[in-house]
């Protein structure tokens, strides 16, 4: 049950974060597009927590994702909001995934 809470927490943190940060960064998106980007970024962060992998695997996934988004941003500067959304999702998703892993490890080993 703890993991479900962290999955939902990841989406709940990243969604509003992306929703409010993208306009501040100077990307004038229509409201429906802004909501879609925020929902997708929140879903991506939740997916990071759901997969429950090690820090090395999370770093590789984040690196590949951000390189692809960075290349897209470099070729089409108007699509920089995708990089911003994925950056927030990768950071928050990895952080909460590692918290979930530590909590699972603590449950199996018990208090010391």
Each residue of 15-47: pLDDT tens digit? 999 999 999 988 888 999 999 999 999 999 998
Domain boundaries, the chain: 2-109
Q: Nearest-5° angle of CA 47, CA 17, CA 103? A: 45
The pLDDT assigned to 91 comes to: 94
CB 69: neighbour CB atoms within 10 A? 20
Is residue 104's pLDDT more than 60? yes
Alpha helices in the chain (DSSP H): 2-24, 31-51, 55-75, 80-109
Q: CB-based contacts of 112: which residues, under 8 Å, 6+ apart? A: none
pTM metric for this prediction:
0.86
User: Which pLDDT tens digit goes with each residue over 46-86?
Assistant: 988 888 788 899 899 999 999 999 999 999 988 899 999 99
């Amino acid at each position: 049950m703890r993991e479900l809470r962290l999955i939902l927490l990841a989406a709940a943190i990243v969604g509003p974060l992306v929703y409010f940060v993208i306009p501040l960064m100077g990307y004038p998106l229509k409201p429906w597009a802004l909501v879609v980007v925020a929902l997708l970024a929140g879903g991506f962060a939740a997916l990071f927590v759901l997969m429950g992998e090690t820090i090395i695997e999370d770093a590789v996934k984040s690196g590949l994702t951000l390189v692809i988004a960075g290349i897209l941003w470099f070729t089409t500067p108007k699509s920089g909001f995708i990089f911003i959304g994925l950056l927030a999702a990768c950071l928050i998703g990895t952080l909460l995934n590692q918290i979930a892993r530590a909590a699972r490890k603590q449950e199996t080993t018990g208090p010391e």
